[in-house]
Chains A and B, each alone.
Chain A
Amino acid sequence: MSAAVEGGCIEPKLNLNGSSALESRAVDFHLRLHLHHQLAEKAMLENEANPTLSKSTGLPRKRFYRARAHSNPLSDSHFPVPTSPCHVNLSLHFPQFCSSSDQIDSSKKIQFADIGCGFGGLLISLSTLFPDTLMIGMELRDKVTEYVKERILALRLANPGQYQNISVVRTNSMKYIPNFFEKGQLSKMFFLFPDPHFKEKNHRRRVISSHLLDEYAYALGVDGIIYTITDVEELGDWMKACLESHPMFEAITEEELEADPVVKLLSSATEESQKVARNGGQTFQAVYRRIMPAT
């Protein structure tokens, strides 16, 4: 109940004259929120026992994990951050892959990182596609992280032996990538539908920038792949331009894109991409490979 009440604090802002993509997304968000409130009240009367889990599927229900659409990446963080990559406790995230006893034997490492994983749609699709690869979602909004955590736990419970290779962590990946990953540890990084930050003064809050690409190039091994997609053309151009001008990334050829099963997931697996598809929106993707810089 309290979660629903808290959600109600966000005033529904119906500005239908809004022209930018962000505003239309915000309107969409608020309209749906409003609808959800009406539905939630009904549901509440019917389902008094554990209301955050769906009765039929056992999965957490998103409406109880509603959060702001945005979070300020510049503010000081108050969540724990591992001092260095060797302080990341893998046995906590992947109990079936890494028991606490063989923590020293660090043969198993996280290889995929979904930066700003949102509600975790991509991770869940990737989990079954690469069942032996450890992957982690990184998300700044605590309620959303909580939802993904519950979702993964519920999926593990419902499908024994599956979904053991995915996990989520609440962190600010713009600040703390080096605290989680060693040099060259990752083979894939995902940036799906990131916050567009339209205002020029907020461009430095964008998760793809030429300076941050230095850090992503550090965390990615040579031949690692960075996947980006957005429904905002301006941001798509920006991300492409950043990657194109960076000496440690090169564009992936059309044939390779065709052959890569992951590329198809970009525009279908996440909650955000499904929404874009539902509204018949366009998407702009940029997929680049980490290369050795020319010396």
Chain B
Amino acid sequence: MEETLTEEGETNKDIEVAPALIAVHPTQKSVAVAVGSDLRVFDFQGVSAVSLVDDTSGPFHKDSIRAIRYSADGNLFVSAGDDKVVKIWSTDSWCCICTVPSEKRVSAVALSNDSLYVCFADKFGVVWVVDLDGFDGNQMLVNKKAAPLLAHYCSIITSLEFSPDGRFVISADRDFKIRVTVFPKKPLDGAHEIQSFCLGHTEFVSCLDFVFTSDFPQGFLVSGSGDSTVRLWDISSGSLLDTCEVGAKAELLESNGKEEECNLAVTDLCTFPDGTLIAVAAQSLQGIVLLSCDLSTRTLSITRVVSIMGEAFIPTSLGMSSSARLLWMVTGVSNLHGFVNPPLVRVRIISGFEKSSPGDPTILEDNEILGGDKLLEKLQGSVSVEEKVFLAAAEAVKTAMSNLLVKKQYSTEKREFRKRTRNDRKTKQ
């Protein structure tokens, strides 16, 4: 696979792009957008753009950021990606308190619920752990090294998540697998006890999240996949509780005027703090699908599709705080050929999910957004952006995602041909 990877990587260099990402502070003190190597943070308390502080000179990240996340208490923020470093930031000062080197490109990050450990996963299937023991909020942590925690056998890990009770760490990969591992008392010695595998997806798993309420504190896992379904799992047994075909719904919406597309991959999902609603983003879908989750019957059902009218907006990432009921969406792409650098992104917000006011979810206009133009200028790169670039961006993300995660199928003849051009044969001639 390594040989194939480098080979494909070379030929597809121009379309190897990263989607824009968004993360929202748990109490909505700030919001962060990552696109390419650019990390943009907007602070709501000072209502101003944040300038990041990092002792290392030059850009903070040197290649596409692939994962960003706030800690559960909101005091820490982690960013990581293709430049093989994991940066841990204090959200108080927005200083980089620690830069951890990784052997391989990083594909996912997670923080333990007590904010004592940062886990990150690389493209070769290894999940690493860094302990933040002794960090009191201000000083820098030097020479932190990551220890291997667990591994999926040479499969790109697409998502990492801690269970709400903090007992398990969940990892998903491109081999359709979700692994539930007991998070040990001494994580630096590795996590060896596997609780379960959640098996049922028939394509790569792209995203994970938990639904939980006070009645169901342990909650249930939800996962989105390239097989265009969202599934609900009981992680202690690994059993599949329900499957929801999101792709079919998204296709229905998309099919007007366009040719039928099949298998729209679910790209991201985001659960609401009360555990009953799940927002789902899918390829080619201009908007989001809202699922409702009934925890007592353990079922998922599609509530509605919220489409973005009057603008071509296919979200590449979703984010939500645990306090305010606003769903943040972003679309954009890194280093797309022929577009400006630093890249522009588009941020949109949906509100109106309150149970008390059962009005329809509404998409906020730019002038209704808290922080207004200042926020948009920081996060988007410009107050107003031309929408047509984003369709190309979404298309590029789609191609990049399938290149990266979908298994390549070769016909028998093609396979024979590829065998003939194998590297070990070449050297002999």
Q: Which A residues are closer than 8 A to B by beta carbons?
A: 11, 72-78, 83-85, 174-175, 178-179, 183, 204, 210-215, 217-218, 246-248, 293
**Taking the nearest CB of chain B, how far is it from the CB of A189, in angstroms?**
15
Chain A residue numbers with a CB within 8 Å of B192 are: 213-214, 217, 246-248, 293
* Docked-complex contact B194 and A211, CB < 8 angstroms: no
Q: Which B residues are closer than 8 A to A by beta carbons?
A: 1-2, 4, 124, 126, 148, 150-151, 153-155, 175-177, 179, 181, 189-194, 196-197, 199-200, 202, 238, 407-410, 415, 428
Chain B residue numbers with a CB within 8 Å of A72 are: 1
Complex Cα distance A215/B193, Å? 9
Chain A residue numbers with a CB within 8 Å of B155 are: 175
Complex Cα distance A73/B175, Å? 14
**Taking the nearest CB of chain A, how far is it from the CB of B248, in angstroms?**
20
**Taking the nearest CB of chain A, how far is it from the CB of B344, in angstroms?**
35
Contact status of A183 and B196, CB under 8 A, knowing A174-B153, A204-B154: yes
Q: Which of A73, A204, A215 contacts B194 (CB 8 A)?
A: A215
* Docked-complex contact B177 and A178, CB < 8 angstroms: yes
Q: List 27 A-B contacts (CB under 8 A).
A: A73-B154, A74-B1, A74-B154, A78-B409, A83-B176, A83-B199, A83-B202, A84-B197, A85-B199, A175-B153, A175-B154, A175-B155, A175-B175, A178-B199, A210-B190, A211-B126, A211-B153, A212-B151, A213-B192, A214-B150, A214-B151, A214-B191, A214-B194, A215-B153, A217-B192, A218-B194, A247-B192
**Taking the nearest CB of chain B, how far is it from the CB of A45, in angstroms?**
30
With A73-B153, A247-B192 already in contact, 12 other A-B pairs whose C-beta atoms are closer than 8 Å: A72-B1, A76-B408, A77-B407, A83-B176, A84-B200, A178-B199, A179-B199, A183-B238, A211-B151, A214-B194, A215-B194, A246-B192
* Docked-complex contact B199 and A293, CB < 8 angstroms: no
Chain B residue numbers with a CB within 8 Å of A211 are: 126, 148, 150-151, 153
Complex Cα distance A204/B176, Å? 21
Nearest A residue to B185 by beta-carbon distance? A295
* Docked-complex contact B4 and A75, CB < 8 angstroms: yes
**Taking the nearest CB of chain B, how far is it from the CB of A200, in angstroms?**
14
The 10 closest A-B pairs by CB, nearest first: A211-B151, A84-B199, A218-B194, A178-B197, A74-B1, A174-B153, A214-B192, A76-B407, A74-B154, A175-B153
Chain A residue numbers with a CB within 8 Å of B126 are: 211
* Docked-complex contact B193 and A248, CB < 8 angstroms: yes
* Docked-complex contact B1 and A75, CB < 8 angstroms: yes
Q: Which of B2, B148, B408 contacts A74 (CB 8 A)?
A: B2
**Taking the nearest CB of chain B, how far is it from the CB of A8, in angstroms?**
16
Complex Cα distance A215/B155, Å? 14
**Taking the nearest CB of chain A, how far is it from the CB of B57, in angstroms?**
33
Complex Cα distance A217/B181, Å? 12
Nearest A residue to B189 by beta-carbon distance? A247
